[in-house]
Amino acid sequence: MSIRPSIRFAGFVPLALTGILVTACGSTGATTLGSGGGSQAASGGSSSGSSSGTGVLDGVGHPVNICSLLPVATVASVTGEPLTVAKEQDTVSYKIYMCDYTSADGTAGLTVSVLAMDAAAGFQGDVDANKAVGGADPFTPISGLGDKAFSAISGVEALFGNVSITVSNLQSTSASETLIRDLQPKL
């Protein structure tokens, strides 16, 4: 019997708390894979809200719609996962932008997120938390991706100035890195 699921769960506690905040505060939108391979907006609104301004610790300066910048068809192609649904899960007041990508039946999925406020401090907190969890998937620094990057039980995270990009719940570090490299210049 493997303890990997319970350790993996521990790494996603901060992400789950963010999800709760998103549900309470964020706006939602969904994208589904169309028959032509492109993505189309589903009913449920748009997540492009207004920003209350930018500050010294704001790494982007504008709202980000990850599901639009990384369409579900692109993510499915990069990961090899049967993903067909993309749902934006933003918490604009904290400048947390997330897209949950899932298969139609919910058996496969991953999350891509961008933190654009206090990201350098958040990145260091994630480094410390992942080092403390340890387990089967140790904290591993990644060179050549952003200013700093790592792979750990919680996923792959890269810091670009004061913006961090994270790919969670994807077993392939190389696919995670590709998604981060694809998204970063679009921000």
Residue of 45, 39, 103 lying closest to 71 (CA atoms): 39
Residue that wins the pLDDT comparison between 26 and 76: 76
pLDDT at 76: 98
The average pLDDT across 17-44 equals: 40
DSSP class of residue 19 equals H
Beta-bridged to residue 58, according to DSSP, are 117
The per-residue pLDDT for range 106-129, each reduced to its tens digit, is 999 999 999 999 999 999 999 988
What are the CA-CA distances from residue 8 to residues 3, 24, 99 (Å)?
Answer: 9, 25, 20
Arch. (CATH architecture) of 4-36+57-186: 3-Layer(aba) Sandwich (3.40)
Residue identified by tokens 């480094």 is 127
8 Å CB contact between 150 and 159: no
Amino acid in the structure at residue 158: A
What are the CA-CA distances from residue 19 to residues 22, 113, 116, 139 (Å)?
Answer: 5, 11, 16, 23
Lowest mean pLDDT among 62-76, 133-147, 152-166: 133-147
pLDDT at 153: 82
pTM score > 0.75 for this model? no
The per-residue pLDDT for range 144-176, each reduced to its tens digit, is 999 999 999 889 999 999 999 999 999 999 999
Neighbouring C-beta atoms of residue 135, cutoff 10 Å: 16
Confidence of residue 30 (pLDDT cuts 50, 70, 90): low
